[in-house]
Structure 1
Amino acid sequence: MSATIFRNVHLLDLDRADGMTSITDVLILNGCIANVGDALTPPQGATIIDGKGDLLMPGLINAHFHSSVNHMKGRLASLPLELFMLYESPALEALRPTPREAYLRTMLGCIEMLRTGTTAVQDDCFFVPEPTPEIIDAICQAYADSGIRANIALDEPEMSEVEKLPFLGDLAPPEWREILTRRPKNSGGELLSLYHHLIDNWHGAGMGRIGAAVSCSAPQRVTPEYFAALDDLSRKHDLPVFAHMLETKLQRVLGHEKFGGRSLVRYTHDLGLLSDRMQVIHAIWVDGEDLDLIAAAGANVAHNPNSNLRLGSGLMPLREILDRGISVSLGVDEAIADDAVNMWSVMKTAGMIHTLSGHDPDRWPSARDVLQAATAGGGRAMRRHGLGTLEIGAPADVILVDLSTLAFLPLNDLVRQLVHVELGNSVRLTMVAGVVVAESGHVTSVDEKSLLAEAREMFRGKAAILERAAVEVAPLVPLYRAMHDKAVARDVGMTRNLSGGLV
């Protein structure tokens, strides 16, 4: 039996006016929160951690992430999503990673998250040029070794560029049509075989920390048959389903062009695939009918405000989502659409950007709304009971926040200062499943120093390859810009950016 007692800690309590309990003790047994109370008696051999009057709170949950570009921070200018993806994930053989490269780039994200108090992540992992069992294993092994809690899915499309994007077929010159109508290498059946590899080998690994999820990437990027097969896998194993929906105005236009006027949410509902297992990612260009469908299905929404700003995607209607009782989680999205893997930064943006949504301050999200999304909301998205809370029986994924740092000096309002002031520098200790994995700003579960040195050398050597890949895709940029411009000129009955006011 493994046992730890935190002595002399305040506990985060969003139901209290001051946001925290009085000083108390917390007992951790076998990876779960076992008891809370004063002067608890430790089991024999228990580890005692003196909280020194600091705050014990649930670890933050990065509920939407793409680890595949952890090594590309700062490489790209801000661009609309459809242009950005040309550089982010071109299916070029030159970009195929070795298993060690995949392991190291995944570990970069793990180290950054654990250092700053993110204890769990949902990785909607994409693969360039396509997934293989060896690369899947390397990614999962990194998560297992780091000590973080993770759900991993294979974000792989089946459809060609012309099939999944509007206007492109008509705009493309003849010399590009063969490439743009070519489907990805792996069929739906081959992707399902890779999912069986992921589930059979990794679901439940790491003493239950590592789990599988399924991903259609986005409804327009897969066939209905493969989408349904993923849903069957999800139902059989109770796995989250990841689906990017209505991230950009172009995706709203797509419904008019390819789905008979139906939005991607309505299309998914009509397929019978909108469920309480689904995470609707982004949900920016949604209307009231879309939100009613999401609420009725019990699906949850992943909000990625830093990424949305970086790519100019628009402002998600957060208040309308919360008003319908839809569970919201927060995510980084990816290291090149945020340029950090820091959930405190995501919370800070989420706590401020929605003041632009209207003039009624009573409708703006509170710091409590934001912190709830970054903890318990993420736990619900991961389908792990109690995750993101300090309930008895919940997984002991907790962080100790030093209340003597400048972020809390003076301590005026704990919850607001957690959301608006803290950036992860005050995290004294990170624990996942009852095991301390980071302390005093360093990850302790792996040899952090040697891994970072190896990654620095490896990715320095990849810079030239990334530059050549950018040159190779550059001729497509004017075509995709023309597609983007045609889509944004279309009136879709709403706006989610500042060019015409937010409606």
Structure 2
Amino acid sequence: MFVNINIDIDNMTHEGVFCVSGTSPDTCNPFASAIPVPTPVAIARDSPSVLLRNVLVPDVTSYARRDVVLANGKIEAIANANEADVPTGAEVIDCTHRMLMPGFVNAHTHSTEHWTRGLILPLPLELWVLELMRHTPVGDKGWHDEDSFVRTAAAYGGLSAIHCGAEAMLSGCTAIVDHLFARNADDVGAAVQGYKALGIRAFIAPMLNDDAVFYSNYIPRARDAEGRNAAIAEGGCPCCAMGKDGVFRTAKDGRDPAKTEAALALWKECVERYHDPAGGIEIVVGPVTAYSASEELLRGCAEIRKKYNLLGHAFARDAGSAVKHLRDTGFLDTGGRPTSCAHTVWLDDEEIRIMAECNATAVHNPLSNLRLGSGVMPVARFREAGVNVAIGCDGSCSSDGQDMLEAIKSATILAPIQTPDYRDWPRASDLALNVAARNGYKGVGTNAGVIEVGAEADVTLWDLTAMSMLPRTDPLSLLIQGSRTQSKAAGSALNSAWVRGKRVIAFGELVGVDLAKLREILIAAQPEYRDMSVTNPTTDSASTASAEVEYRAAMGLDPSNETEPRSAYKFEEHRALYDPHLT
């Protein structure tokens, strides 16, 4: 398969061709042409069966040497070291200095955020998301200014999917759940092409909503909005909030029925055009959030999932009604394939119980939750309640990368702040093998994530002689909790990876994707640097400034025109390190 990538910026065309050996360029669907064709790594993905001889295989508490055979897309056999017969035509790899791991699942990300990573000021989620949407290539401060939403080619999403997927793969991921911002089916198709070029297993959830006012419901309403408005009417200082004439909103913005129908139609179109489980691509039904999706939209989502037997994916960051709302509309448990919910930081015990009853997966995103000030997910409480917990990197604008090892490390070192009993602190090996791998694949309904006969061959092979894996102590702890030295001489810790039995990484390099050419394309796509001060909500635009006014009032951070005492505002304990009571 050849995948051409084209992007037109300021009437200039840039192209790179990413090839997988053994296929014809006639099958590609080009985006355009200009940069010379790179030379692919000279290893075919469709190689014969593989015997991994004398490989180190970890479990949570110990290691064993084994011979492992990969064939027909599965782990076909496991034997004692140096005892397995060589299958006919098999490639034999001496793994005396290698460790075999199940692949990780990056269980929640947003690939299009790659274009804005590093750009946004330290802001909470509710204000951060408005800056994100304005400054992406399709935002009103994007590649074509106010016309960006219409004029920016779908190729931008294909490029960011490759960028996102490549980073995830090079940190040990063999599958990814992409909550994808999509304007139309072509945006989804571009991401599909990008992930197929990489060979990663991709679960793509077009991220849609039906708010009448785009993203306005991300901003919480002030609990004393009516009192504040009355004070303003009596001569208080003007507030410049989000409501009509600058007053505070007193009700949630409603839905747009046309958007409801358009969203449901787009999910159906994407399923019919791109859903290809046998080819490693699944379309997932993924509304933006429970509070930016109407009851009608969520019930329609549940029906689509039942009709096509699809996975579901949604945000469930807030406490209160989010999880109950997803359950009551039939979205959380359709009786078919599972549902995963991202973040789940502020859920109470009842909602955690509902998650367990509905066999839903809670996705821990430690990096973005910390960066956005959302707090720390109480992972132990979820696991004790029987909830399947996975790990995600989240989008690169809120986590600044797709390094799954970094996400697992963060999850490991956050655990001790939640209990003083060190016997309850999870091992890095537990979070890597059971949460990031086994539970990650359980969350997407796929028989992988384990080194067991019959499991699908989504596996990774790590070089124990790489500098980051030395000196020889506990290799899995070194992998998760150590560093990754940036030097050729230091060696790449990740040697190889297989997805559905096909080799997608060899000798530390992606098979079939030339990253040097990808770098050239990304440089050409956004040739100038920007200062993060452009994302200051108070000066970015009138709409972001008014959103900040309402947000600060809602969170008890602005005493002007306040009609309730600050002591009435309380943040739930144990999810944040600051004093939960405002004074």
Give distance in 2, aligned partners of 1:297 and 1:101.
36
**What letter is aligned with 2:181?**
F
Output the CA distance in 2 between the equivalents of 1:423 and 1:60.
Answer: 17
Q: How does 1:315-326 map to 2 (within 5 A)?
A: 315-326=376-387
Distance 1:186 1:48 in 2: 58
In structure 2, the residue matched to 1:389 is: 450
Find out whether 1:84 has 2:133 as its counterpart.
no
Q: Structure 1: how far apart are the matches of 2:354 and 2:275? A: 30
Matched, 1:487 2:569: no
Q: Give 1:471 shift.
A: 9.6
Matching residue within 150, 154, 173 for 2:202: 150
**Which residue in 2 is equivalent to 1:500?**
579
The yes-or-no answer on 1:421 pairing with 2:421 is no
The one of 356, 366, 370 equivalent to 2:417 is 356
Q: 2:75 aligns with which of 21, 28, 33?
A: 33
Query: What displacement does 1:497 show?
Result: 0.9
2:263 matched to 1:191? yes
| Alignment-derived partner of residue 512 in structure 2 | 445
Matched residue count = 480
| Whole-angstrom CA distance in 2 between matches of 1:423 and 1:347 | 14
**Higher fraction of helix:** 1
Tell me the distance in 2 between the aligned counterparts of 1:220 and 1:431.
Answer: 39
Q: Distance in 2 between matches of 1:238 and 1:459?
A: 39
The equivalent of 1:113 in structure 2 is 168
How big is the shift at 1:313?
0.6
Deviation of the 1:7 alpha carbon: 1.6
**1:159-180 alpha-carbon deviations (Å, 9 max, x no partner):** 1345554327874253579x99
* 1:366 aligned residue: 427
2:220 maps to a residue whose letter is: P
Structure 1 unaligned blocks of 5 or more: 253-261
Taking the TM superposition and a 5 Å limit, the aligned residue runs for 1:270-281 are 270-275=328-333, 277-281=338-342
Q: Find the partner of 1:224 among 290, 295, 299.
A: 295
AA at the equivalent of 2:380: R
Residue 351 of structure 1 contacts residue 367 of structure 1 at CA under 8 Å; is this kept in 2? yes
Match status 1:237 vs 2:308: yes
Separation of aligned partners in 2, 1:8 and 1:359: 40
Task: Give 1:480 shift.
Answer: 2.3
C-alpha distance in 1, partners of 2:511/2:281? 19
Contact 1:234 1:277 in 2 (8 A): no
Q: Give the whole-Å Cα distance in 1 for the aligned partners of 2:321 and 2:253.
A: 23
* Structure 2 alignment gaps of length 5 or more: 1-45, 141-145, 230-240, 486-491, 557-567
Post-superposition shift, 1:198?
1.5
Q: What TM-score do you get using the length of structure 2 for normalisation? A: 0.76
2:348 alignment partner, one of 252, 265, 287: 287
Q: Offset at 1:388?
A: 1.1
Aligned partner of residue 291 in structure 1, secondary structure: helix
TM-score (norm 1): 0.87
1:423/1:183 CA distance change after superposition, 3 Å: farther
Q: Corresponding residue for 2:498?
A: 431
Q: Partners in 1 of 2:330 and 2:307 — Cα distance?
A: 16
AA matched with 1:379: Y
Match of 1:303 among 360, 364, 381: 364
CA distance in 2, matches of 1:434, 1:176: 58
Cα 1:462–1:32 shift into 2, 3 Å: farther
Alignment partner, residue 46 of structure 1? 90
Displacement, 1:8?
Answer: 2.1
Q: Which shifted more, 136-145 or 410-419?
A: 410-419
Distance 1:348 1:468 in 2: 29
Q: Does 1:213 align with 2:280?
A: no
| Identity value in percent | 26
State the distance in 2 between where 1:185 and 1:470 align: 30
* Residue in structure 1 matched with residue 375 of structure 2 by the alignment: 314
What SS class does the counterpart of residue 272 from structure 2 fall into?
helix
CA distance in structure 1 between the partners assigned to 2:257 and 2:305 by the alignment: 24
Residue 11 of structure 1, CA deviation: 1.5
Which has the higher Rg, Structure 1 or Structure 2?
A: 2
Post-superposition offset of 1:233:
2.0
Alignment root-mean-square deviation, CA: 3.0
How far 1:154 moved relative to its partner?
Answer: 0.9
Residues 24-45 of structure 1: CA deviation (Å, up to 9, x unaligned): 2211112111111143233332
**Which of 172, 179, 182 is equivalent to 2:242?**
172
Task: Name the residue aligned to 2:462.
Answer: 401
Note the alpha carbon deviations across 1:286-316, whole angstroms, 9 max, x for none.
1111111111221110000000111111011
